[in-house]
Structure 1
Amino acid sequence: MMSWVRFTVTATAFALVTLISVPLQYFFLKAGWGLRKRFPIFYHRIVARLLGLRIHMHGDMATQRPLLLAANHASWTDIVVLGALKELSFIAKIEVASWPLFGMLSKLQRSVFVEREKRGKTHDQASEIATRLAAGDVMVLFAEGTTSDGNRVLPFKTSLFGAAQVAIRETSVETVTVQPVAIAYTRVHGMPMGRFHRPIISWPGDVPLGPSLIGLLKDGAIDVDVWFGEPMTIDSKTNRKTLARLMEKRVREMMLSSLLGRDLIAPADETPESVAPVDSAILKERKKL
Protein backbone atom coordinates (compact mmCIF):
# COMPACT_ATOMS: atom_id res chain seq x y z
CA MET A 1 0.00 0.00 0.00
CA MET A 2 2.74 2.47 0.98
CA SER A 3 4.62 1.81 -2.24
CA TRP A 4 1.57 2.83 -4.27
CA VAL A 5 1.13 5.95 -2.14
CA ARG A 6 4.74 6.82 -2.89
CA PHE A 7 4.15 6.14 -6.57
CA THR A 8 1.14 8.48 -6.67
CA VAL A 9 2.97 11.30 -4.91
CA THR A 10 6.22 11.02 -6.87
CA ALA A 11 4.51 10.51 -10.24
CA THR A 12 2.37 13.60 -9.66
CA ALA A 13 5.39 15.66 -8.63
CA PHE A 14 7.37 14.38 -11.64
CA ALA A 15 4.56 15.36 -13.99
CA LEU A 16 4.26 18.86 -12.50
CA VAL A 17 8.00 19.51 -12.58
CA THR A 18 8.19 18.32 -16.18
CA LEU A 19 5.20 20.39 -17.28
CA ILE A 20 6.85 23.50 -15.88
CA SER A 21 10.39 22.68 -17.06
CA VAL A 22 9.68 21.73 -20.69
CA PRO A 23 8.38 25.14 -21.88
CA LEU A 24 11.12 26.92 -19.92
CA GLN A 25 13.90 24.88 -21.52
CA TYR A 26 12.27 25.29 -24.96
CA PHE A 27 12.35 29.06 -24.46
CA PHE A 28 15.98 29.00 -23.31
CA LEU A 29 16.95 26.99 -26.41
CA LYS A 30 15.13 29.32 -28.79
CA ALA A 31 16.59 32.39 -27.09
CA GLY A 32 20.09 30.93 -27.14
CA TRP A 33 20.64 31.79 -23.49
CA GLY A 34 23.34 30.14 -21.39
CA LEU A 35 20.57 28.73 -19.21
CA ARG A 36 19.87 26.20 -21.96
CA LYS A 37 22.94 24.29 -20.70
CA ARG A 38 22.52 24.91 -16.96
CA PHE A 39 18.77 24.45 -16.54
CA PRO A 40 18.81 20.66 -17.29
CA ILE A 41 21.05 20.18 -14.23
CA PHE A 42 18.38 21.77 -12.04
CA TYR A 43 15.67 19.60 -13.63
CA HIS A 44 17.63 16.35 -13.29
CA ARG A 45 18.49 17.06 -9.66
CA ILE A 46 14.81 17.41 -8.82
CA VAL A 47 13.95 14.23 -10.74
CA ALA A 48 16.79 12.34 -9.04
CA ARG A 49 15.43 13.33 -5.64
CA LEU A 50 11.90 12.29 -6.63
CA LEU A 51 13.16 8.91 -7.85
CA GLY A 52 15.11 8.38 -4.64
CA LEU A 53 18.51 8.33 -6.35
CA ARG A 54 21.39 9.11 -3.97
CA ILE A 55 24.39 10.01 -6.13
CA HIS A 56 27.97 9.61 -4.89
CA MET A 57 30.58 11.18 -7.16
CA HIS A 58 34.19 9.94 -7.23
CA GLY A 59 36.70 12.16 -8.98
CA ASP A 60 35.54 14.95 -11.25
CA MET A 61 34.88 15.75 -14.86
CA ALA A 62 37.93 16.90 -16.78
CA THR A 63 38.27 20.63 -17.42
CA GLN A 64 39.93 20.25 -20.83
CA ARG A 65 37.90 20.86 -23.97
CA PRO A 66 36.91 19.32 -26.35
CA LEU A 67 35.76 16.52 -24.03
CA LEU A 68 34.13 13.19 -24.85
CA LEU A 69 32.88 11.07 -21.92
CA ALA A 70 32.83 7.30 -22.51
CA ALA A 71 30.39 5.65 -20.09
CA ASN A 72 28.73 2.32 -19.41
CA HIS A 73 24.94 2.17 -19.62
CA ALA A 74 22.77 0.13 -17.25
CA SER A 75 19.50 2.08 -17.09
CA TRP A 76 17.52 5.01 -18.42
CA THR A 77 18.26 6.59 -15.04
CA ASP A 78 21.90 7.03 -16.15
CA ILE A 79 20.64 10.13 -18.01
CA VAL A 80 19.20 11.56 -14.80
CA VAL A 81 22.29 10.68 -12.76
CA LEU A 82 24.84 12.25 -15.12
CA GLY A 83 22.52 15.12 -16.03
CA ALA A 84 22.23 16.04 -12.35
CA LEU A 85 26.01 16.43 -12.01
CA LYS A 86 27.31 18.42 -14.95
CA GLU A 87 26.51 20.46 -18.06
CA LEU A 88 26.54 17.88 -20.86
CA SER A 89 24.64 16.39 -23.76
CA PHE A 90 24.12 12.79 -24.80
CA ILE A 91 24.70 10.69 -27.88
CA ALA A 92 21.54 8.58 -28.17
CA LYS A 93 20.21 5.97 -30.56
CA ILE A 94 17.76 7.33 -33.13
CA GLU A 95 14.82 5.38 -31.62
CA VAL A 96 14.93 7.55 -28.49
CA ALA A 97 13.87 10.61 -30.51
CA SER A 98 10.43 9.06 -31.11
CA TRP A 99 9.76 7.91 -27.55
CA PRO A 100 6.85 9.63 -25.78
CA LEU A 101 8.09 12.29 -23.33
CA PHE A 102 11.65 10.94 -23.09
CA GLY A 103 12.26 11.72 -26.75
CA MET A 104 11.18 15.31 -26.20
CA LEU A 105 13.33 15.60 -23.08
CA SER A 106 16.33 14.25 -25.00
CA LYS A 107 15.86 16.86 -27.72
CA LEU A 108 15.58 19.62 -25.13
CA GLN A 109 18.94 18.48 -23.70
CA ARG A 110 20.41 18.89 -27.19
CA SER A 111 21.15 15.19 -27.67
CA VAL A 112 22.68 13.92 -30.90
CA PHE A 113 20.74 10.97 -32.33
CA VAL A 114 22.62 8.30 -34.25
CA GLU A 115 21.70 5.25 -36.33
CA ARG A 116 24.26 2.74 -35.13
CA GLU A 117 23.22 -0.01 -37.57
CA LYS A 118 23.67 2.09 -40.71
CA ARG A 119 27.39 2.09 -41.38
CA GLY A 120 26.97 4.39 -44.35
CA LYS A 121 25.96 7.20 -41.99
CA THR A 122 28.79 6.72 -39.51
CA HIS A 123 30.91 9.55 -40.90
CA ASP A 124 28.04 12.07 -41.05
CA GLN A 125 27.06 11.20 -37.48
CA ALA A 126 30.64 11.45 -36.31
CA SER A 127 30.90 14.85 -38.01
CA GLU A 128 27.88 16.16 -36.12
CA ILE A 129 29.33 14.97 -32.81
CA ALA A 130 32.72 16.42 -33.77
CA THR A 131 31.16 19.83 -34.45
CA ARG A 132 29.55 19.84 -31.03
CA LEU A 133 32.82 18.78 -29.38
CA ALA A 134 34.74 21.52 -31.16
CA ALA A 135 32.14 24.06 -30.00
CA GLY A 136 32.94 23.14 -26.39
CA ASP A 137 29.95 20.90 -25.64
CA VAL A 138 30.71 17.91 -23.41
CA MET A 139 29.25 14.83 -25.12
CA VAL A 140 28.43 11.54 -23.37
CA LEU A 141 28.90 8.37 -25.41
CA PHE A 142 27.29 5.23 -23.97
CA ALA A 143 29.91 3.15 -25.66
CA GLU A 144 28.33 -0.30 -25.17
CA GLY A 145 25.69 0.64 -27.73
CA THR A 146 22.89 -0.72 -25.54
CA THR A 147 21.94 -1.09 -21.88
CA SER A 148 23.38 -3.91 -19.76
CA ASP A 149 22.04 -5.74 -16.71
CA GLY A 150 24.11 -3.53 -14.40
CA ASN A 151 26.35 -6.42 -13.27
CA ARG A 152 28.97 -6.05 -15.99
CA VAL A 153 30.33 -3.81 -18.72
CA LEU A 154 29.63 -4.95 -22.27
CA PRO A 155 32.27 -4.60 -25.01
CA PHE A 156 32.58 -1.01 -26.20
CA LYS A 157 31.63 -0.25 -29.80
CA THR A 158 34.42 1.52 -31.61
CA SER A 159 32.69 3.42 -34.42
CA LEU A 160 31.63 6.61 -32.63
CA PHE A 161 34.99 6.99 -30.90
CA GLY A 162 36.02 8.14 -34.35
CA ALA A 163 34.10 11.37 -33.70
CA ALA A 164 36.99 12.55 -31.55
CA GLN A 165 39.40 12.20 -34.46
CA VAL A 166 36.92 13.73 -36.91
CA ALA A 167 36.89 16.77 -34.64
CA ILE A 168 40.66 16.99 -35.08
CA ARG A 169 40.57 16.49 -38.87
CA GLU A 170 37.59 18.70 -39.72
CA THR A 171 37.82 21.53 -37.17
CA SER A 172 40.54 23.73 -35.74
CA VAL A 173 41.22 21.61 -32.63
CA GLU A 174 44.48 19.68 -32.43
CA THR A 175 43.60 17.27 -29.59
CA VAL A 176 40.50 15.89 -27.87
CA THR A 177 40.23 14.68 -24.28
CA VAL A 178 38.44 11.38 -23.71
CA GLN A 179 37.43 10.47 -20.14
CA PRO A 180 36.04 7.15 -18.86
CA VAL A 181 32.94 7.34 -16.66
CA ALA A 182 31.54 4.39 -14.68
CA ILE A 183 28.02 4.23 -13.24
CA ALA A 184 27.38 1.56 -10.59
CA TYR A 185 24.12 1.05 -8.69
CA THR A 186 25.15 -0.35 -5.33
CA ARG A 187 22.42 -0.18 -2.66
CA VAL A 188 18.65 -0.23 -2.29
CA HIS A 189 17.17 1.17 0.92
CA GLY A 190 20.69 1.15 2.36
CA MET A 191 21.27 -2.56 1.78
CA PRO A 192 23.81 -3.95 -0.72
CA MET A 193 21.97 -4.51 -3.97
CA GLY A 194 23.75 -7.56 -5.37
CA ARG A 195 22.88 -9.42 -8.55
CA PHE A 196 19.42 -10.49 -7.34
CA HIS A 197 18.10 -6.97 -6.65
CA ARG A 198 19.82 -5.10 -9.47
CA PRO A 199 16.84 -5.59 -11.85
CA ILE A 200 15.09 -2.96 -9.70
CA ILE A 201 17.22 -0.36 -11.43
CA SER A 202 18.78 -2.04 -14.47
CA TRP A 203 17.06 -1.75 -17.83
CA PRO A 204 18.39 -4.23 -20.39
CA GLY A 205 17.45 -3.46 -23.96
CA ASP A 206 14.49 -5.85 -24.20
CA VAL A 207 12.69 -4.61 -21.05
CA PRO A 208 9.80 -2.14 -21.62
CA LEU A 209 10.39 1.36 -20.23
CA GLY A 210 6.95 1.74 -18.58
CA PRO A 211 7.25 -1.04 -15.95
CA SER A 212 10.81 0.05 -15.16
CA LEU A 213 9.68 3.63 -14.50
CA ILE A 214 6.70 2.54 -12.40
CA GLY A 215 8.84 0.15 -10.35
CA LEU A 216 11.38 2.83 -9.52
CA LEU A 217 8.72 5.39 -8.63
CA LYS A 218 7.25 2.81 -6.22
CA ASP A 219 10.51 1.66 -4.60
CA GLY A 220 13.16 4.39 -4.84
CA ALA A 221 16.04 4.81 -2.36
CA ILE A 222 18.84 3.72 -4.70
CA ASP A 223 22.53 4.54 -4.12
CA VAL A 224 24.62 5.05 -7.24
CA ASP A 225 28.36 5.62 -7.62
CA VAL A 226 29.64 7.76 -10.48
CA TRP A 227 33.36 7.49 -11.20
CA PHE A 228 35.17 10.03 -13.36
CA GLY A 229 38.37 8.26 -14.39
CA GLU A 230 41.73 9.52 -15.57
CA PRO A 231 41.23 11.52 -18.80
CA MET A 232 43.36 10.89 -21.85
CA THR A 233 44.35 13.35 -24.56
CA ILE A 234 44.32 11.95 -28.08
CA ASP A 235 45.48 13.28 -31.43
CA SER A 236 45.06 12.38 -35.07
CA LYS A 237 47.39 9.37 -34.76
CA THR A 238 45.47 7.63 -31.96
CA ASN A 239 43.85 4.34 -32.99
CA ARG A 240 40.15 4.44 -32.15
CA LYS A 241 39.89 0.69 -31.60
CA THR A 242 42.64 0.58 -29.03
CA LEU A 243 41.26 3.78 -27.50
CA ALA A 244 37.85 2.11 -27.10
CA ARG A 245 39.50 -0.92 -25.52
CA LEU A 246 41.36 1.23 -23.01
CA MET A 247 38.20 3.16 -22.06
CA GLU A 248 36.29 -0.13 -21.66
CA LYS A 249 38.99 -1.50 -19.36
CA ARG A 250 39.05 1.60 -17.17
CA VAL A 251 35.26 1.78 -16.92
CA ARG A 252 35.11 -1.90 -15.99
CA GLU A 253 37.72 -1.42 -13.26
CA MET A 254 35.88 1.52 -11.73
CA MET A 255 32.49 -0.16 -11.87
CA LEU A 256 33.76 -3.37 -10.26
CA SER A 257 35.50 -1.35 -7.56
CA SER A 258 32.05 -0.19 -6.47
CA LEU A 259 30.26 -3.51 -6.90
CA LEU A 260 32.97 -5.54 -5.15
CA GLY A 261 33.91 -2.94 -2.56
CA ARG A 262 37.66 -2.96 -3.30
CA ASP A 263 40.14 -1.09 -5.42
CA LEU A 264 40.64 -2.65 -8.84
CA ILE A 265 41.70 0.52 -10.63
CA ALA A 266 44.99 0.19 -12.49
CA PRO A 267 47.61 2.98 -12.70
CA ALA A 268 46.60 5.72 -15.11
CA ASP A 269 49.81 5.67 -17.16
CA GLU A 270 48.48 3.16 -19.68
CA THR A 271 48.23 4.00 -23.35
CA PRO A 272 45.86 2.50 -25.91
CA GLU A 273 48.74 0.44 -27.31
CA SER A 274 49.46 -1.15 -23.91
CA VAL A 275 46.00 -2.58 -23.28
CA ALA A 276 45.16 -6.23 -23.87
CA PRO A 277 41.69 -7.04 -25.32
CA VAL A 278 40.39 -8.18 -21.90
CA ASP A 279 42.34 -7.98 -18.67
CA SER A 280 42.32 -11.50 -17.17
CA ALA A 281 42.29 -10.32 -13.54
CA ILE A 282 39.25 -8.16 -14.18
CA LEU A 283 37.54 -11.04 -15.95
CA LYS A 284 38.04 -13.27 -12.90
CA GLU A 285 36.54 -10.64 -10.60
CA ARG A 286 33.55 -10.22 -12.92
CA LYS A 287 32.77 -13.95 -12.72
CA LYS A 288 32.42 -13.63 -8.93
CA LEU A 289 29.46 -11.24 -9.23
Structure 2
Amino acid sequence: MRAWLVIVPVVLVTLVGLPFQWLSVALGLPTRRTIPMLYHRIVLALVGVRVRAVGAPAPARPLLLVANHSSWLDIPVLGSRLPLCFVAKSEVARWPGIGLLARLQRTIFVDRTSRTATGRVAGEMAARMGDGDPVVLFAEGTSSDGNRVLPFRSALIGAARQSLGDEDGSAATIQPLAIAYVGLSGLPLGRAGRPRLAWYGDMDLAPHLMEVLRRGGVEVELRFGAPLAAGGRKVAAQEAEKSVRTMLAQALTGRPG
Protein backbone atom coordinates (compact mmCIF):
# COMPACT_ATOMS: atom_id res chain seq x y z
CA MET A 1 0.00 0.00 0.00
CA ARG A 2 2.76 2.43 0.94
CA ALA A 3 4.53 1.86 -2.36
CA TRP A 4 1.50 3.00 -4.36
CA LEU A 5 1.02 6.00 -2.08
CA VAL A 6 4.50 7.01 -3.18
CA ILE A 7 4.27 6.01 -6.86
CA VAL A 8 1.08 7.94 -7.65
CA PRO A 9 2.30 11.40 -6.48
CA VAL A 10 5.74 10.78 -8.02
CA VAL A 11 4.10 10.06 -11.37
CA LEU A 12 1.93 13.18 -11.07
CA VAL A 13 4.91 15.38 -10.19
CA THR A 14 6.83 13.87 -13.11
CA LEU A 15 4.04 14.53 -15.61
CA VAL A 16 3.71 18.12 -14.43
CA GLY A 17 7.45 18.78 -14.54
CA LEU A 18 8.29 17.10 -17.87
CA PRO A 19 7.05 19.83 -20.25
CA PHE A 20 8.71 22.58 -18.22
CA GLN A 21 12.06 20.79 -18.20
CA TRP A 22 11.79 19.88 -21.89
CA LEU A 23 11.19 23.53 -22.75
CA SER A 24 14.00 24.66 -20.46
CA VAL A 25 16.49 22.29 -22.10
CA ALA A 26 15.31 23.11 -25.62
CA LEU A 27 15.69 26.87 -25.05
CA GLY A 28 18.76 26.67 -22.83
CA LEU A 29 17.01 28.41 -19.94
CA PRO A 30 18.58 28.63 -16.45
CA THR A 31 15.67 26.53 -15.15
CA ARG A 32 17.16 23.49 -16.94
CA ARG A 33 19.46 23.29 -13.93
CA THR A 34 17.05 24.11 -11.11
CA ILE A 35 13.99 22.07 -12.13
CA PRO A 36 15.78 18.69 -11.80
CA MET A 37 17.13 19.65 -8.38
CA LEU A 38 13.63 20.57 -7.16
CA TYR A 39 12.21 17.39 -8.70
CA HIS A 40 14.76 15.18 -6.94
CA ARG A 41 14.03 16.86 -3.61
CA ILE A 42 10.31 16.20 -3.99
CA VAL A 43 10.95 12.55 -4.96
CA LEU A 44 13.20 12.00 -1.94
CA ALA A 45 10.60 13.52 0.38
CA LEU A 46 7.89 11.25 -1.04
CA VAL A 47 10.04 8.10 -0.92
CA GLY A 48 11.24 8.92 2.59
CA VAL A 49 14.95 9.52 2.08
CA ARG A 50 16.98 11.77 4.36
CA VAL A 51 20.35 13.04 3.19
CA ARG A 52 23.08 14.56 5.31
CA ALA A 53 26.37 15.88 4.03
CA VAL A 54 29.85 16.00 5.50
CA GLY A 55 31.84 18.64 3.66
CA ALA A 56 30.60 20.42 0.57
CA PRO A 57 31.13 20.52 -3.20
CA ALA A 58 34.21 22.50 -4.17
CA PRO A 59 33.32 26.01 -5.39
CA ALA A 60 35.92 25.87 -8.18
CA ARG A 61 34.86 25.28 -11.77
CA PRO A 62 35.29 23.21 -13.93
CA LEU A 63 34.39 20.50 -11.39
CA LEU A 64 34.36 16.71 -11.82
CA LEU A 65 32.86 14.76 -8.90
CA VAL A 66 34.23 11.21 -8.79
CA ALA A 67 31.97 8.93 -6.75
CA ASN A 68 31.19 5.34 -5.82
CA HIS A 69 27.90 3.86 -7.01
CA SER A 70 25.56 1.32 -5.41
CA SER A 71 21.92 2.20 -6.12
CA TRP A 72 19.50 4.00 -8.42
CA LEU A 73 18.86 6.14 -5.35
CA ASP A 74 22.29 7.71 -5.92
CA ILE A 75 20.80 9.78 -8.75
CA PRO A 76 18.06 11.64 -6.80
CA VAL A 77 20.31 11.83 -3.72
CA LEU A 78 23.04 13.69 -5.62
CA GLY A 79 20.63 15.51 -7.91
CA SER A 80 18.87 17.03 -4.90
CA ARG A 81 22.04 18.71 -3.61
CA LEU A 82 23.15 20.89 -6.54
CA PRO A 83 22.61 21.32 -10.28
CA LEU A 84 24.78 18.78 -12.08
CA CYS A 85 25.08 16.30 -14.95
CA PHE A 86 25.70 12.55 -14.80
CA VAL A 87 27.68 10.17 -16.97
CA ALA A 88 25.76 6.92 -17.59
CA LYS A 89 26.01 3.84 -19.78
CA SER A 90 24.24 4.16 -23.13
CA GLU A 91 21.73 1.41 -22.25
CA VAL A 92 20.07 3.78 -19.77
CA ALA A 93 18.94 6.01 -22.64
CA ARG A 94 16.79 3.12 -23.95
CA TRP A 95 15.07 2.29 -20.65
CA PRO A 96 11.34 3.15 -20.78
CA GLY A 97 10.61 6.33 -18.85
CA ILE A 98 13.98 6.42 -17.11
CA GLY A 99 15.77 7.13 -20.39
CA LEU A 100 13.61 10.19 -20.98
CA LEU A 101 14.22 11.48 -17.46
CA ALA A 102 17.96 10.92 -17.88
CA ARG A 103 18.04 12.88 -21.13
CA LEU A 104 16.11 15.75 -19.55
CA GLN A 105 18.67 15.70 -16.72
CA ARG A 106 21.19 16.28 -19.56
CA THR A 107 22.94 13.00 -18.84
CA ILE A 108 26.03 12.17 -20.88
CA PHE A 109 25.76 8.64 -22.28
CA VAL A 110 28.79 6.45 -22.97
CA ASP A 111 28.82 3.33 -25.15
CA ARG A 112 31.15 0.96 -23.31
CA THR A 113 31.44 -1.30 -26.38
CA SER A 114 32.84 1.45 -28.61
CA ARG A 115 36.56 2.14 -28.66
CA THR A 116 35.97 5.68 -29.93
CA ALA A 117 33.35 6.57 -27.31
CA THR A 118 35.78 7.84 -24.68
CA GLY A 119 36.90 10.84 -26.71
CA ARG A 120 33.35 11.87 -27.61
CA VAL A 121 32.09 11.50 -24.05
CA ALA A 122 35.09 13.37 -22.68
CA GLY A 123 34.34 16.20 -25.08
CA GLU A 124 30.76 16.38 -23.81
CA MET A 125 31.98 16.31 -20.21
CA ALA A 126 34.42 19.11 -20.92
CA ALA A 127 31.70 21.19 -22.59
CA ARG A 128 29.35 20.80 -19.62
CA MET A 129 32.06 21.55 -17.07
CA GLY A 130 33.27 24.47 -19.13
CA ASP A 131 29.72 25.83 -19.04
CA GLY A 132 29.76 25.70 -15.24
CA ASP A 133 27.95 22.39 -14.67
CA PRO A 134 29.58 19.94 -12.25
CA VAL A 135 29.73 16.45 -13.77
CA VAL A 136 29.32 13.28 -11.70
CA LEU A 137 31.36 10.28 -12.81
CA PHE A 138 30.67 6.92 -11.16
CA ALA A 139 34.27 5.85 -11.59
CA GLU A 140 33.77 2.14 -10.83
CA GLY A 141 31.93 1.75 -14.12
CA THR A 142 29.23 -0.33 -12.38
CA SER A 143 27.42 -0.53 -9.03
CA SER A 144 28.40 -2.44 -5.89
CA ASP A 145 26.59 -3.84 -2.83
CA GLY A 146 27.14 -0.61 -0.89
CA ASN A 147 29.69 -2.12 1.49
CA ARG A 148 32.78 -1.61 -0.63
CA VAL A 149 34.39 0.44 -3.37
CA LEU A 150 35.34 -1.29 -6.62
CA PRO A 151 38.48 -0.30 -8.56
CA PHE A 152 38.17 3.09 -10.29
CA ARG A 153 38.64 3.32 -14.05
CA SER A 154 40.99 6.05 -15.16
CA ALA A 155 40.09 6.44 -18.86
CA LEU A 156 37.29 9.00 -18.57
CA ILE A 157 39.06 10.97 -15.85
CA GLY A 158 42.11 11.34 -18.05
CA ALA A 159 40.19 12.02 -21.24
CA ALA A 160 38.09 14.71 -19.58
CA ARG A 161 41.22 16.45 -18.31
CA GLN A 162 42.89 16.31 -21.70
CA SER A 163 39.82 17.62 -23.50
CA LEU A 164 39.95 20.64 -21.17
CA GLY A 165 43.56 21.19 -22.15
CA ASP A 166 44.47 19.97 -18.68
CA GLU A 167 46.75 16.96 -18.95
CA ASP A 168 48.36 17.64 -15.57
CA GLY A 169 45.11 18.46 -13.76
CA SER A 170 45.91 22.14 -13.19
CA ALA A 171 42.65 23.57 -14.57
CA ALA A 172 39.89 21.07 -13.78
CA THR A 173 39.05 20.36 -10.14
CA ILE A 174 38.51 16.68 -9.35
CA GLN A 175 36.75 16.04 -6.04
CA PRO A 176 36.17 12.57 -4.51
CA LEU A 177 32.68 11.87 -3.19
CA ALA A 178 31.48 8.93 -1.08
CA ILE A 179 27.82 7.86 -0.99
CA ALA A 180 26.97 5.76 2.07
CA TYR A 181 23.62 4.19 3.01
CA VAL A 182 23.70 4.23 6.80
CA GLY A 183 20.14 3.73 8.07
CA LEU A 184 16.78 2.15 7.26
CA SER A 185 13.47 2.54 9.08
CA GLY A 186 15.13 4.36 11.95
CA LEU A 187 17.79 1.69 12.58
CA PRO A 188 21.48 1.59 11.67
CA LEU A 189 22.05 -0.31 8.45
CA GLY A 190 24.66 -3.03 8.92
CA ARG A 191 26.75 -4.91 6.42
CA ALA A 192 24.14 -7.63 5.91
CA GLY A 193 21.27 -5.17 5.43
CA ARG A 194 22.94 -2.65 3.14
CA PRO A 195 22.47 -4.70 -0.06
CA ARG A 196 18.71 -4.24 0.42
CA LEU A 197 19.18 -0.71 -0.86
CA ALA A 198 21.94 -1.48 -3.35
CA TRP A 199 20.97 -2.26 -6.94
CA TYR A 200 23.77 -4.22 -8.55
CA GLY A 201 24.66 -7.30 -10.53
CA ASP A 202 21.73 -8.80 -12.45
CA MET A 203 19.01 -7.55 -10.07
CA ASP A 204 15.71 -6.56 -11.70
CA LEU A 205 14.85 -2.91 -11.18
CA ALA A 206 11.07 -3.15 -10.65
CA PRO A 207 11.08 -5.54 -7.63
CA HIS A 208 13.94 -3.63 -6.03
CA LEU A 209 12.17 -0.32 -6.59
CA MET A 210 8.95 -1.59 -5.02
CA GLU A 211 10.82 -2.98 -2.01
CA VAL A 212 12.50 0.37 -1.31
CA LEU A 213 9.21 2.24 -1.74
CA ARG A 214 7.46 -0.11 0.68
CA ARG A 215 10.07 0.50 3.37
CA GLY A 216 11.01 4.19 3.21
CA GLY A 217 13.02 5.66 6.06
CA VAL A 218 16.31 5.59 4.13
CA GLU A 219 19.26 7.54 5.57
CA VAL A 220 22.12 8.51 3.29
CA GLU A 221 25.39 10.25 4.08
CA LEU A 222 27.43 12.11 1.49
CA ARG A 223 31.09 12.79 2.22
CA PHE A 224 32.91 15.29 0.04
CA GLY A 225 36.68 14.86 0.03
CA ALA A 226 39.44 17.37 -0.55
CA PRO A 227 40.05 18.18 -4.24
CA LEU A 228 42.90 16.19 -5.72
CA ALA A 229 46.31 17.65 -6.42
CA ALA A 230 47.52 17.91 -10.00
CA GLY A 231 48.66 14.65 -11.57
CA GLY A 232 48.17 12.17 -14.39
CA ARG A 233 44.98 10.20 -14.97
CA LYS A 234 46.21 7.00 -13.28
CA VAL A 235 47.39 8.90 -10.24
CA ALA A 236 44.09 10.82 -10.13
CA ALA A 237 42.07 7.59 -10.30
CA GLN A 238 44.16 5.95 -7.60
CA GLU A 239 43.97 8.95 -5.27
CA ALA A 240 40.22 9.36 -5.84
CA GLU A 241 39.60 5.66 -5.16
CA LYS A 242 41.68 5.79 -1.98
CA SER A 243 39.84 8.87 -0.74
CA VAL A 244 36.38 7.48 -1.51
CA ARG A 245 37.25 4.13 0.07
CA THR A 246 38.39 5.86 3.27
CA MET A 247 35.36 8.16 3.45
CA LEU A 248 32.93 5.30 2.82
CA ALA A 249 34.48 3.25 5.64
CA GLN A 250 34.26 6.26 7.97
CA ALA A 251 30.61 6.86 7.11
CA LEU A 252 29.60 3.21 7.49
CA THR A 253 31.29 2.93 10.89
CA GLY A 254 30.13 6.32 12.15
CA ARG A 255 33.61 7.79 12.43
CA PRO A 256 34.16 11.54 11.94
CA GLY A 257 35.81 12.65 8.73
Of 82, 86, 96, the match for 2:82: 86
The corresponding residue for 2:156 is 160
The corresponding residue for 2:49 is 53
Are the equivalent residues in 2 in contact too, given 1:127–1:166 (CA < 8 A)? no
Q: How many angstroms apart in 2 are the aligned matches of 1:41 and 1:51?
A: 15
Q: Runs of 5+ in structure 1 lacking a partner?
A: 266-289
Of 246, 252, 256, the match for 1:259: 252
The corresponding residue for 2:108 is 112
The corresponding residue for 2:196 is 200
Worse-matched range after superposition: 117-126 or 68-77: 117-126
The corresponding residue for 2:2 is 6
Q: Deviation at 1:115?
A: 1.4
1:15 corresponds to 2:8:
no
Q: How many residues align?
A: 256
Post-superposition, which runs of at least 4 consecutive aligned residues in structure 1 deviate over 4 A? none
Q: How many angstroms apart in 2 are the aligned matches of 1:106 and 1:207?
A: 20
Of 236, 248, 255, the match for 2:241: 248
Q: Report the 3-state secondary structure (helix = DSSP H, G, I; strand = E; otherwise coil) of the residue aligned with 1:79.
A: helix
Amino acid at match of 1:199: P
- Structure whose CA Rg is larger: 1
Q: Runs of 5+ in structure 2 lacking a partner?
A: none
Q: Report the 3-state secondary structure (helix = DSSP H, G, I; strand = E; otherwise coil) of the residue aligned with 1:68.
A: strand
1:140 corresponds to 2:136:
yes
1:211 corresponds to 2:204:
no
Please list the CA deviations of residues 21-52 of structure 1 after superposition, one character each: whole Å capped at 9, or x if unmatched.
11111011122210110111100000011111
The corresponding residue for 1:101 is 97
Are the equivalent residues in 1 in contact too, given 2:228–2:239 (CA < 8 A)? no
Are the equivalent residues in 2 in contact too, given 1:168–1:174 (CA < 8 A)? no
Please list the CA deviations of residues 189-237 of structure 1 after superposition, one character each: whole Å capped at 9, or x if unmatched.
1111112211221001311111111111111101000111111253xxx
Q: Report the 3-state secondary structure (helix = DSSP H, G, I; strand = E; otherwise coil) of the residue aligned with 1:136.
A: coil
Are the equivalent residues in 2 in contact too, given 1:87–1:138 (CA < 8 A)? yes
Q: How many angstroms apart in 2 are the aligned matches of 1:155 and 1:200?
A: 22
Question: Structure 1 length normalisation: TM-score?
Answer: 0.85
Q: Report the 3-state secondary structure (helix = DSSP H, G, I; strand = E; otherwise coil) of the residue aligned with 2:136.
A: strand
Question: Structure 2 length normalisation: TM-score?
Answer: 0.95
Q: Deviation at 1:174?
A: 5.9
Q: Deviation at 1:134?
A: 1.7
Q: Which structure is higher in RCO with an 8 Å CA cutoff and minimum separation 6?
A: 2
Amino acid at match of 1:253: T
Q: Report the 3-state secondary structure (helix = DSSP H, G, I; strand = E; otherwise coil) of the residue aligned with 1:185.
A: strand
Are the equivalent residues in 2 in contact too, given 1:187–1:223 (CA < 8 A)? yes
Amino acid at match of 1:259: L
Q: Report the 3-state secondary structure (helix = DSSP H, G, I; strand = E; otherwise coil) of the residue aligned with 1:155.
A: coil
Q: How many angstroms apart in 1 are the aligned matches of 2:196 and 2:225?
A: 26
Are the equivalent residues in 2 in contact too, given 1:72–1:142 (CA < 8 A)? yes
Please list the CA deviations of residues 76-104 of structure 1 after superposition, one character each: whole Å capped at 9, or x if unmatched.
11000000000101001101100111111
Are the equivalent residues in 1 in contact too, given 2:182–2:220 (CA < 8 A)? yes
The corresponding residue for 2:182 is 186
Q: Deviation at 1:9?
A: 0.8
